Amino acid sequence: MSQLLRNSTDTAPYERITVKPVAGAMGAEIEGVDLSQLDDATFAEIHRAWLENNVIFFRGQTLTPQQYLRFAKRWGDIHLHPYMKGMADNPEIFEIIKTETETKNFGNRWHTDQQFCPEPAKATMLYAIEVPAAGGDTMYSNLYRAYESLSDGMKQMLSGLKTYNMGDRKYGGKSRAERYSGGGDTMAGRVAPPREDMNSVHPLIRTHPETGRKALYIGSHTDRFDGLTKEESEPLRKFLMQHARRPEFTCRFRWQPGSLALWDNRCCQHYAVNDYHGQRRHMLRITIKGDTPF
Amino acid sequence: MAEAALNTNYERITVKRIAGALGAEIFGVDLAQPLDDATFGEIYRAWLENQVIVFRDQDITPDHHLAFAKRFGKIHPHPFNKPMEGYPDILEMTKRETDTYNHGGRWHTDQMYTPQPAKATMLVAREMPPYGGDTMFSNLYRAYETLSDGMKTAIAGLKGVNNGDSKKHESGMTRAERAKAGIGQMPQIDPTDIKIQTISTHPIVRTHPETKRKALYIGSHTERFHGMTDEESDPLRQYLLDHSHRPEFTMRLRWEVGTVTLWDNRCCQHYALNDYTGFRRRMHKITICGDTPF
């Protein structure tokens, strides 16, 4: 717990944007930008703020799908979700809706996006169209902190481990299709499983390709450690999952219509809180291609 | 989860829900002024309905704080933490720039180890870090209500043994040993006084004496179940603790100087985040007498 704070005074000041940290561990709100029109210098500062804060938030944005996509493409090529279909007229945008009558939501477990892909999405952005009056927040945790706060003995033991991550890991004994079927669930119509299940092996301790920092790369897709049995893996997997989201490593974002969050899946977990039954929540998601974890 | 849409029917105050599970901000009240009974009645009702209520931008003295607290009941003196100079009913909790130990950095309900635990806790933020130092709360009604019927039946008769001076504290030391070693920033009344009762047994399923709702009354002070060994208790104790603060049952409060928060220990846990090392944080705390849990 030595390095508890981001020390933003160590870095060069921001000239084109205002960066306001939202918690000790991670997260910052960026003020003073309209994402529909960004010059390169402003974009460079946003990119730096993103690497420094793991997740950044913008408020009050009004973006058409085309403007949203244009902003997204500044971060890289679009990563399409292997299991979920995009919008009919904008297939690169994935619509996440929970209606007033649904009880399930999408993403209410601690995970990092598409960890089951050989090259998981490096970034995810979410743009809020409709949100409940209260509830429907997203929580984030900082996986650099999770790694750094482990003991030296544990770090050493984990250094060679690899995780086995499953695209359709069963939760409560149910597959994706089973979870989203039978309730008139909006997301049911969006499940489009690939022909073969997608599972990937990645290092448990991942080096971020841009910052060079090490992170504890684990999430709810992680089924076991590669080469170990499920039984052998379980106690350590469970400990690391709980450790990864200690309150000290987290921040929580309350959405408004027009809010946009952008997070780095290489060093963050997130959790979509399902506490708003009876109210509608409508978000637009875009994910950006990443590289092979090392 | 129908409470999300509550908070109508207030005439003298404005009540704005913070999250789906619990918590509300109260507007239209100046705690430096005497409160008429009708306004206080609405505040009290909002507290019972929301479990945690938050007042922003209150410019109040310790005397105002005391006067407001006393409307909720008699003051519950802390059994071993030493009160603030000149105010025997107020605890001052300071974490200095150089301190790393943080008071309350675990999921707990206040003074659960006393025979009649404090029913309410009221905190005033006096000095805050620029970011970090939030408090998280969880709703123990929800924690109870979401258990299966089988589990509800199984735990119906269980009692928790709650220890306020456990060697299992993360330091591995008792209160007296910590005081001697200079760990922890809370001054003690008399660390060697062994007459203080620091172990109490209470029902795990507690009925709130005012709302009559049942809550899962468990926290970090709960060491084991009465009549069972540590080994027998531990798997279920751990499960119930983890369950009691699922993200869906929680809210997160970001403090500012002048924020006043009141929570109900009979149906809430809370957790003080230690993510602001290097910054100073100072709070004033008053707890209100409660009754014997049933």
User: In this predicted model, what pLDDT tens digit does every residue of B30-39 receive, in sequence order?
Assistant: 999 999 999 9
Segment A53-71 shows an average pLDDT of 97
A8 pLDDT above the threshold of 50: no
The CATH number that applies at residue B175 is 3.60.130.10
Under an 8 Å CB criterion, which residues of B touch A?
1-2, 4-5, 16-21, 100, 105, 129-134, 136, 242, 247-250, 252, 254, 271, 273-279
Interface test mutation site (partner A, options B131, B135, B220, B245, max chain A beta carbons within 10 A): B131
- DSSP 8-state secondary structure symbol assigned to residue B190: -
Number of domains in chain B: 1
Range of lowest pLDDT (A213-217, A273-277, B4-8, B202-206): B4-8
Cα separations in angstroms, A71 against A52, A138, A267: 20, 22, 22
Interacting residues of A162 by C-beta distance below 8 A, sequence separation 6+: A201, A202, A203, A204, A225, A226, A227
Q: Is B102 domain-assigned?
A: yes
- Answer whether residue B257 is part of any domain: yes
| Residue B239 reports pLDDT greater than 80 | yes
**Whether pLDDT at B187 is above 80:** no
Say if residue B291's pLDDT is above 60.
Answer: yes
Count of C-beta atoms within a 10 Å radius of residue A44: 12
Q: How far is B245 from chain A (nearest CA, A)?
A: 11
Q: Which residues of A1-13 are buried (b: 16+ CB within 10 A; e: fewer)?
A: eeebbbebeeeee
Q: Tens of pLDDT along A87-100?
A: 989 999 999 999 99
Per the structure, the complete domain to which residue B99 belongs is given by: 2-288
The pLDDT, as a whole number, for residue A197 is: 75
CB B258 within 8 A of CB B59: yes
Task: Count how many residues are written for chain A.
Answer: 294
CB contact under 8 A, B1 and A242: no
What's the predicted TM-score (pTM) here? 0.88
Query: In chain A, positions 237-266, which contact chain B (CB-CB < 8 Å)?
Result: 242, 247-249, 252, 254
CA gap A90, A68 in Å, rounded:
11
d(CA B232, CA A215): 36
Token representation of residue B145: 């209500």
- B280 compared with B2, residue with greater pLDDT: B280
Does residue A129 have a pLDDT over 70? yes
Does residue B200 register a pLDDT over 90? yes
| More confident position, B180 or B184 | B180
Q: Is B293 domain-assigned?
A: no
Between CA B151 and CA B143 the distance in angstroms is 12
Q: Is the pLDDT of residue A180 over 80?
A: no
Residue numbers in B near A279 (CB within 8 A): 4-5
Query: Among A23-32, B4-13, B68-77, B225-234, which is the least confidently predicted range?
Result: B4-13
Asked if the Cβ–Cβ distance from B247 to A248 is below 8 Å, we say no
Rounded mean pLDDT, A46-61: 97
Share of chain A above pLDDT 90, in %: 78
Query: pLDDT-derived band of residue B184, with 50, 70 and 90 as boundaries?
Result: low
Q: Judge whether residue B2 has pLDDT over 50.
A: no
Interface test with B, best of A275, A276, A279 (most B CBs within 10 A): A275
Interface test with A, best of B15, B275, B280 (most A CBs within 10 A): B275
* Cβ burial, residue B94 (10 Å; 0-12/13-18/19+): middle
- The residue-averaged pLDDT of B225-246 equals 93
* pLDDT given at position A85: 85
State whether residue A135 sits within 8 Å of chain B by CB: yes
- The residue with greater pLDDT, B288 or B8, is B288
Closest-CA distance, A5 to chain B, in angstroms, reads 6
How are strands ordered across the β-sheet holding B222-225? B199-203, B159-163, B222-225
Fold of A8-288: Double-stranded beta-helix (3.60.130)
| Predicted local confidence at residue A176, as pLDDT | 79
Which pLDDT score is estimated for A202? Answer: 98
The answer on pLDDT for A192 being more than 80 is no
Report how many Cβ contacts below 8 Å link chain A to chain B.
100
Q: What is the pLDDT of residue A195?
A: 67
Give A55's strand partners.
Answer: A263
**Residue A131 touches chain B, beta carbons under 8 Å:** no
pLDDT at A196 over 80: no
pLDDT grade for B56, boundaries at 50, 70 and 90:
very high
Asked if A199 reaches chain B (Cβ–Cβ under 8 Å), the answer is no
Task: Name every residue whose Cβ is closer than 8 Å to that of residue B194 and which is 6 or more positions away in sequence.
Answer: none
CB contact under 8 A, B274 and A248: yes
Check: CB of residue B76 under 8 Å from CB of residue B121. no
Chain B contact set for A23 (CB, 8 A)? 131-132, 134, 254, 273, 275
Spell A174-193 as b/e; 16+ CB within 10 A means b.
Answer: eebeebbeeeebbbeebbee
State residue A81's pLDDT score: 86
Of A21-35, B155-169, B170-184, the range with the lowest mean pLDDT is B170-184
Whole-angstrom distance, CA of residue A214 vs CA of residue A144:
6
Question: Of the candidates A166, A146, A163, A167, which has an alpha carbon nearest to the alpha carbon of residue A155?
Answer: A146
- Least confident stretch, A126-140, B184-198, B249-263: B184-198
Q: Which chain A residues touch B18 with a CB distance below 8 Å? A: 134, 254
What residues form DSSP beta bridges with A262?
Answer: A56, A125
The answer on pLDDT for A7 being more than 70 is no
